[in-house]
């Protein structure tokens, strides 16, 4: 009981310090990108703090996972370093007695990571997309507004508008000149507005106008009147659109539309809480250090395994998105291997006195080589 209380108290205090440091780093680095977007006119300056909040919610699952892993690793390492582990072992406790307190400590993190991954993060992505798209629509209106000609990114169209409505959502007295397939097309309209369709393509929708195709002195000249006419301003990449849409969908919506992109996002979300639990258990055997030596190698190995685990999950997600693997074939192998590795490392640390343990085998090999060298020296001296 004393062991469990002491361990829980130290884990909580360490986790609080680690979370504070990681969250401070995250909310310090992430705003730089958002401020860069605001400076470049891609997001509204008034929405910067809100977007930073949404970005922090997106980073929270990873921060919590790292907090649990680093906290357990630091506590176990300090126990070995200060020879406390020897006291616990001498009291009849073994390394497997750490599992229950670690699971008790990690259960809230597991639940919180699942809630953030399944519910909060999609909501934050949805709201962030809404803020960005709302400003982009205003920004596109501003690009084709008051009193100057503006060329499109494809260099095929030139826009001109006389004025902008009070709410910045509509423009009036529009002129659009398009040159495609060696043919000129001129559109004149009384008013218009920017609209983004379901595919992410941006159209300038004009009302009450005329369209002139070709030159007036040529036989193929055409003129027509319209009540409503749309001109493509910007086309989005399909892969980018699908990724953004999948990140904003709920778990149920992802499951109901099982396309590769949605299943890749589904795999990522269910992997986060599993990673949180696996890494905390993995940190227990990885926390071993020799009190008479440094702990740099121990931390480097633990950091390598954590990064490797994280990247393998990302690779599995990418394979599912690309259609190379199905969700049912991709989500479990990485985690099964991780838990097998945890079992093997625990068995290795618990059975250190076994004659088949790698340390014991290595010690016997060294003794054998030392005795053989000594016997050869004695024989050589007698000769």
Given a cut of 60, is residue 183 above it in pLDDT? yes
Q: Are 229 and 258 in contact (CB under 8 A)?
A: no
First CA to last CA distance, the chain = 66
SS (H, E, C) the chain: CHHHHHHHHHHHHHHHHHHHHHHHHHHHHHHHHHHHHHHCCCCCHHHHHHHHHHHHHHHHHHHHHHHHHHHHHHHHHHHHHCCHHHHHHHCCCCHHHHHHHHHHHHHHHHHHHHHHHHHHHHHHHHHHHHHHHHHHHHHHHHHCCCCCCEECCCCCEEEEEEEECCCCCEEEEEEEEEEECCEEEEEEEEEEEEEECCCCCEEEEEEEEEEEECCCCCCCCEEEEEEEEEEEEECCCHHHHHHHHHHHCCHHHHHHCCCHHHHHHHHHHHHHHHHHHHHHHHHHHHCCCCCCCCCHHHHHHHHHHHHHHHHHHHHHHHHHHCCCCCHHHHCCHHHHHHHHHHHHHHHHHHCCCCCCCHHHHHHHHHHHHHHHHHHHHHHHHHC
- Residue bearing the bigger pLDDT, 41 or 311: 311
Taking the mean position of all CA atoms in its chain, how far away is CA 62?
8
pLDDT in tens, 118-167: 999 999 888 887 777 666 655 455 555 466 776 665 667 777 777 766 55
Given a cut of 80, is residue 252 above it in pLDDT? yes
* Range name among 13-22, 138-147, 210-219, 241-250 with the lowest pLDDT average: 138-147
* Range name among 103-117, 169-183, 308-322 with the lowest pLDDT average: 169-183
Given a cut of 70, is residue 84 above it in pLDDT? yes
Given a cut of 90, is residue 217 above it in pLDDT? no
List of residues 6+ apart from 305 with CB closer than 8 A: 282, 286, 341
Both structure tokens of 261: 């992109």
Report the share of the chain in percent with pLDDT over 70.
Answer: 75
pLDDT band at 354 (very low <50, low <70, confident <90, very high): low
Both structure tokens of 34: 């958002």
Q: Are 171 and 144 in contact (CB under 8 A)?
A: yes
Instruction: Give the residue carrying structure tokens 């260099």.
Output: 155
* Half-sphere exposure for 349 (CA within 13 Å, toward CB): 23
Q: Say what the pLDDT of residue 379 is.
A: 42
pLDDT band at 69 (very low <50, low <70, confident <90, very high): very high
Radius of gyration of the CA atoms of the chain, in A: 32
Average of per-residue pLDDT across 352-372: 62
Both structure tokens of 318: 């990418």
């Amino acid at each position: 009981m004393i062991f469990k209380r002491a361990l829980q108290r130290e884990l909580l205090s360490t986790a609080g310090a680690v979370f504070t440091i990681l969250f401070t780093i995250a909310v310090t680095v992430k705003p730089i990108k958002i401020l860069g977007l605001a400076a470049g006119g891609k997001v509204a300056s008034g929405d910067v703090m809100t977007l930073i909040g949404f970005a922090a919610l997106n980073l929270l699952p990873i921060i919590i996972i790292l907090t649990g892993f680093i906290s357990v690793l630091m506590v176990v390492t300090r126990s070995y370093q200060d020879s406390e582990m020897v006291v616990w072992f001498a009291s009849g406790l073994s390394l497997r007695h750490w599992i229950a307190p670690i699971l008790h400590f990690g259960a809230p993190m597991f639940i919180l990571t699942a809630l953030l991954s399944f519910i909060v993060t999609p909501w934050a992505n949805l709201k962030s997309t809404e803020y960005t798209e709302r400003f982009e629509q205003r920004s596109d209106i501003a690009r084709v507004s008051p009193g100057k000609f503006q060329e499109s990114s494809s260099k095929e169209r030139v826009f001109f508008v006389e004025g902008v409505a009070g709410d910045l959502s509509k423009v009036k007295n529009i002129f659009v000149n398009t040159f495609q397939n060696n043919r000129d097309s001129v559109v004149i309209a009384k008013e218009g507005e920017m609209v983004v369709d379901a595919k992410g393509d941006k159209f300038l929708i004009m009302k009450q106008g005329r369209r002139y195709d070709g030159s007036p002195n040529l036989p193929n000249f055409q003129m027509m009147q319209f009540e409503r006419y749309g001109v493509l301003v910007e086309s989005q990449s399909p892969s980018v659109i699908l990724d953004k849409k999948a990140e904003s969908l709920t778990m149920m919506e992802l499951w109901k539309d099982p396309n590769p992109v949605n299943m890749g996002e589904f795999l990522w979300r269910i992997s986060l809480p599993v990673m949180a639990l696996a890494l905390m258990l993995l940190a227990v055997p990885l926390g071993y250090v020799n009190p008479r030596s440094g702990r740099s190698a121990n931390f480097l190995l633990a950091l390598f395994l954590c990064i490797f685990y994280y990247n393998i999950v990302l690779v599995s997600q990418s394979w599912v998105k690309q259609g190379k693997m199905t969700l049912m074939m991709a989500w479990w192998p990485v985690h099964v291997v991780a838990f097998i590795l945890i079992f093997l490392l625990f068995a290795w640390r618990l059975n250190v006195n076994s004659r088949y343990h790698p340390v014991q085998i290595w010690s016997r090999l060294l003794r054998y080589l030392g005795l053989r060298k000594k016997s050869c020296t004695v024989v050589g001296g007698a000769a």
